[in-house]
Amino acid sequence: MPNRGQDVAGFASVSATKTLTAGNIALCDAIVIGHAKAGEIRMSADAITSLAWYSCDTIDGTYLVCHDAADAAVTQNVTASKACSLPAALFGRMFVKALPTGATGSAKVVIQT
């Protein structure tokens, strides 16, 4: 269940821990990004080294690879036990999933609206 954060400088935050399953986007938890203005992903101590981002217009639909304005797939290098900003190309989508490379694990996602 998401945790509601405090309103800080006009932002409200929501956070939740998500399961990231290597090699199987269907088993990865969806992230409700909706009308978010910003966000970060706080990696656990797992051996995940990168994320490929997928999106869908419904929470339980078919997730497709996210592409940015230059038509490049949206990927992100990550490091265990560190926080990273979510890629700008994710904002404006309703639901996203992160497919990890290297290992299965979890991450805490914080979304600011």
Q: Each residue of 16-65: pLDDT tens digit?
A: 999 999 999 999 999 999 989 999 999 999 999 999 999 999 999 999 99
Q: What is the model's pTM?
A: 0.88
Beta strands in the chain (DSSP E): 3-4, 13-20, 31-32, 38-43, 50-56, 64-65, 75-77, 83-85, 95-101, 105-112
The reported pLDDT for the residue numbered 53 is 98
Q: Which is higher by pLDDT, 28 or 10? A: 28
Give bridge partners of residue 97 from the DSSP assignment. 54
Res. 77 pLDDT band, cuts 50 70 90: very high
Query: Is residue 7's pLDDT more than 50?
Result: no
Question: What is the spatial distance between Cα 79 and Cα 83, in angstroms, rounded to a whole number?
Answer: 8
